[in-house]
Amino acid sequence: MNTLTITRPDDWHIHLRDGAALAHTVPAAAQHFNRLICMPNLVPPVRTVEDAAAYRERILAHAPQGVPFDPRMVLYFTDETPASEIAKAKATDFMQAIKLYPAGATTNSQSGVSDIRKVYSVIEQLEEHQFPLLLHGEVTQSHVDIFDREKRFLDDVLAPLLRQFPKLKLVLEHITTSEAAHFVLEQGRNVAATITPQHLLFNRNHMLVGGMRPHFYCLPILKRQKHQTVLLEVATSGNPKFFLGTDSAPHAQDKKENACGCAGCYTAPIAMQLYAEAFEQAGRLDKLEGFASHFGADFYGLPRNTDTITLVKQDYAVPASYPYLDDQTLVPLRAGETLPWSIQ
């Protein structure tokens, strides 16, 4: 197959940052994706519908002309989130979900939820209004090994949560383990998962063998090859419970290439080429459109996009870096490498 035309995809998990960063991150994402679920872990976080509306306007100010583009906004779940904010968010035409970061789990998560049982009154409203809960699924206790934190979250937090709220509409984001994949498969239609390109293409050997490669470092961290294999199986299976979420996370080069580097892979400009490579490796390119363009929209109750993009089997040279803030640069995943797919 030399060309593949698919419905324009959506990215159901992306970080755009704020301020001057938007001049670079928004056009990069909008060139291939229509709808974006825009992560709320800014400084300060997007705590209210008013915060989200203002952030959306800042994003739209950098949207390229002539392409469909619809940033979908997300509340940042804190211990103090009022239950009344859920009905308010549900009543808008631009709010899509609320994001729960366990406090301390990842970038700018210090204001996250300290104990999920403290916010059950808000989760009751999520279930009642069928307003989706997005989860960073890792425990944060210091004694739990970083490679085990997702599985422990499933056992200690998520399974009890769904027993308490069986109709809760929920997305387990950026899953990284076979246990998470099987957990999602065992749940009803109200539970889904996103998967990043790096977790389909790579495992922890790529990050650690022969030297530490900071641009492969993200959270949840890359796992063993056996987990990568299962993720690729479910992503390419055509099961609508799994769909695209890049978790593209820009950090300036000096923040990544650092003695204590930031977590996050920047993939927005090349994400579709990366997913195409993964699906081709699995021999299931015919399943890419569902994963990238159909299943997320269906889960969120939104119409599928009507325009298309075309992937071409033609080498693409990934830039060594992209411009970012002031004199800083962004180094993407696979910087300086050649990908087998381009976008026409």
Helix axis angle, 271-281 relative to 225-235, nearest 10°? Answer: 100
Residue of 11, 79, 247, 286 with catalytic role: 247
Cα dist from 29 to 15, 68, 86, 115, 226, whole Å: 10, 12, 28, 33, 30
247 is an active site residue: yes
Q: Residue 137: beta bridge partners?
A: none
Distance, in Å, from the CA atom of 214 to the CA atom of 260, rounded to the nearest integer, reads 10
**Which is it for strands 95-100 and 133-135: parallel, antiparallel or unpaired?**
parallel
Q: Can you read off the two tokens belonging to residue 274?
A: 């990366």
Residue 138: name the closest of 166, 179, 90 by CA: 179
The dihedral formed by the CA atoms of 224, 229, 231 and 236, expressed in degrees to the nearest 10:
160
List active site positions.
Answer: 247
